[in-house]
Amino acid sequence: MKKIQISPSILSADFSQLGKEIKRLEDAGADMIHVDVMDGHFVPNLTIGPPVIKALRKYTSLKFDVHLMISPVHKYIKDFADAGADIITIHPEATENLGQSLKFIKTLKKKVGVSLNPNTKINSIENELENIDLILVMSVYPGFGGQKFIPEVLEKIELLKKIRDEKKYEYDIEVDGGINFENSKSVINAGANILVSGTTIFKENDGNIKKNIETLKEV
């Protein structure tokens, strides 16, 4: 049974003091930091790029779990690796050759992730499953925090766990979007071992992020 980890999304943090916010997350027991990179093209929103990640690197030794919602993505992978990303997760629709992009991330000695939108089928990436470290199941359509969890993805999580167990693969199953205290247990029971959350962690319990991280971890 993989350890349940929480990867808070800084998309819901105070962007005027991201360094301090990352320190706050580390002190509150976050297992890694989920960095949502958006280009206004792959998704209808724009956030941060490599220079900001580079500036944030010194604020924590926690892993940067970088979610690239950008296309084309291949030509930017090295910039994010050099800026300090530890896990680099890409969307299959954002690259001409998924296998090549994943191999390239590995040559940069970074953990490799693939993100599946709610309407993207597992069979579109099944040849890559044995080579990836993390599969990021989107439980919202990417682009914004604060959206409603799409319960149909629970089936996809269960199937990914079944495939992993049957084929003895190693990938982590991370779920991202609309995670809250009402659905976190069903997401974990379905097979997820990393939960991404922005709104719930920063907003619930008057912003008590330590309590919110601990509550999301409860099974």
User: Among ligand DX5, Zn ion, none, what binds residue 12 when CB lies within 5 to 8 Å by partner kind?
Assistant: ligand DX5
User: Among Zn ion, ligand DX5, none, what binds residue 145 when CB lies within 5 to 8 Å by partner kind?
Assistant: ligand DX5
Q: Which of 14, 31, 36, 206 is catalytic?
A: 36
Is 165 labeled as catalytic in the residue annotation? no
Q: State which of residues 5, 6, 12, 112 lies at the interface with ligand DX5 (CB under 6 A).
A: 12
Q: Scanning the structure block, which residue is given the tokens 């003091």?
A: 17
Exposure b/e, 64-93, CB count within 10 A at least 16 = b: bbbbbbbbebbebbbebbebbbbbbbbbbe
Which CB sits closer to ligand DX5, 143 or 191?
143
Question: Is residue 186 within a helix (H) or strand (E), and if so which, with residue range?
Answer: helix 184-190
C-beta of 152: minimal distance to ligand DX5 in Å?
16
Q: Is 179 in the site for ligand DX5 (CB under 6 A)?
A: yes
- CA gap 158, 150 in Å, rounded: 14
Neighbouring C-alpha atoms within 13 Å toward the C-beta of 149: 21
- CA gap 35, 148 in Å, rounded: 20
Is 27 labeled as catalytic in the residue annotation? no
- CA gap 112, 114 in Å, rounded: 7
Q: State which of residues 51, 146, 151, 207 lies at the interface with ligand DX5 (CB under 6 A).
A: 146
The residues binding ligand DX5 (CB under 6 A) are 9, 11-12, 34, 36, 67, 140, 142-147, 176-179, 196-200
